[in-house]
């Protein structure tokens, strides 16, 4: 996989973790991601998956 894309997805994992910690509404983040990457369905899906990984990590380990 592309190193740049891997780093960007790591950043999205961090966004998901932070969102879970400070109770940001996840549908809002999904909307922002969808708008940012409009027309790039694979990129949207990858970002949703990374976001969810961060959210699930926090839910499992911190709440």
Report how far residue 63's alpha carbon sits from residue 61's, in angstroms, rounded to the nearest whole number. Answer: 6
Inform me whether the pLDDT recorded for 63 exceeds 70: no
pLDDT at 1: 64
Inform me whether the pLDDT recorded for 44 exceeds 70: yes
Average pLDDT, the chain: 93
Domain range list for the chain: 3-62
- Mean of the pLDDT values across residues 20-37? 95
pTM here is: 0.87
Given a contact cutoff of 8 angstroms between Cβ atoms, the answer to whether 48 and 30 are in contact is yes
- Mean of the pLDDT values across residues 40-55? 96
Inform me whether the pLDDT recorded for 13 exceeds 80: yes
């Amino acid at each position: 996989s592309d190193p740049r894309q891997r780093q960007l997805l790591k950043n999205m994992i961090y966004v998901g973790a932070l969102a879970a910690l400070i109770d940001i509404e996840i549908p809002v983040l999904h909307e922002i991601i969808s708008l940012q990457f409009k027309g790039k369905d694979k990129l949207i899906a990858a970002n949703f998956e990374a976001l969810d990984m961060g959210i699930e990590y926090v839910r499992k380990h911190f709440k």
